Amino acid sequence: MMKASNIRSLRAKSRSARAAFAALALLSTPALAQSLAITGATLAIGDGSEPIRNGTVLISAGKVTAAGAGIAIPPGIKAIDAGGKWVTPGLVSGYSRVGLVEVPAVNETNDASARSPFSAAIDVAPAINPLANPIAISRTAGITRAVVVPSTGIGIFAGQGAVVDLGADMNAITRARAFQYVELGEEGAKDAGGSRPAAILTFKTMLREAQDYARAPASYDGRSKDALLNRVDAQALVPVVTGAMPLMVHVESARDIVTVLSLRQDFPALKLIIAGAAEGWMVAPQIAAAKVPVIAGGLDDLPSSFEKLAATQSNVGRMVKAGVIVSMGLMDRDEGLQLRLATQQAGNMVALNKVPGATGLSWGQALRTISSAPAEAMGLGDRIGSLKPGRAGDVVLWDGDPLEMTSAPIAVWIDGVPQPIDNRQTKLRDRYATPGEGALPKAYEW
Question: Site residues (CB under 8 A) for other proteins?
Answer: 102-106, 112, 133-134, 137, 151, 187, 254, 279, 282, 299, 301-306, 308-314, 332-338, 340, 343-344, 347-348, 350-352, 354-358, 399-400, 403-408, 425, 428-429, 432-433, 435-436
Q: CA-CA distance, 223 to 338, in Å (whole number)? A: 41
Residue 176 or residue 358: which is nearer to other proteins going by CB? 358
Q: Which of 88, 79, 92, 81 is nearest to 52 (CA)?
A: 88
Min dist CB 321 to other proteins, Å, is 14
Min dist CB 22 to other proteins, Å, is 17
Residue 108 or residue 226: which is nearer to other proteins going by CB? 108
Amino acid identity of residue 46, one-letter, is G
Length of the chain in terms of residues written: 446
Residue 13 or residue 431: which is nearer to other proteins going by CB? 431
Q: How many Cβ atoms sit within 10 Å of the Cβ of residue 224?
A: 7
Min dist CB 123 to other proteins, Å, is 21
Min dist CB 277 to other proteins, Å, is 14
Q: Using alpha carbons, list the distances in angstroms from residue 377 to 135, 153, 248.
A: 22, 25, 10
Residue 329 or residue 336: which is nearer to other proteins going by CB? 336
Residue 409 or residue 416: which is nearer to other proteins going by CB? 409
Residue 153 or residue 246: which is nearer to other proteins going by CB? 153
Residue 176 or residue 310: which is nearer to other proteins going by CB? 310
Min dist CB 308 to other proteins, Å, is 8
Q: CA-CA distance, 374 to 225, in Å (whole number)? A: 40
φ, ψ (nearest 5 deg) of residue 65 = -105, -25
Q: How many Cβ atoms sit within 10 Å of the Cβ of residue 302?
A: 11
Min dist CB 409 to other proteins, Å, is 11
Min dist CB 272 to other proteins, Å, is 21
Contact 159, 123 (CB under 8 A): yes
Q: CA-CA distance, 423 to 326, in Å (whole number)? A: 31
Q: CA-CA distance, 266 to 264, in Å (whole number)? A: 5
Most distant CA pair in the chain: distance in Å?
74
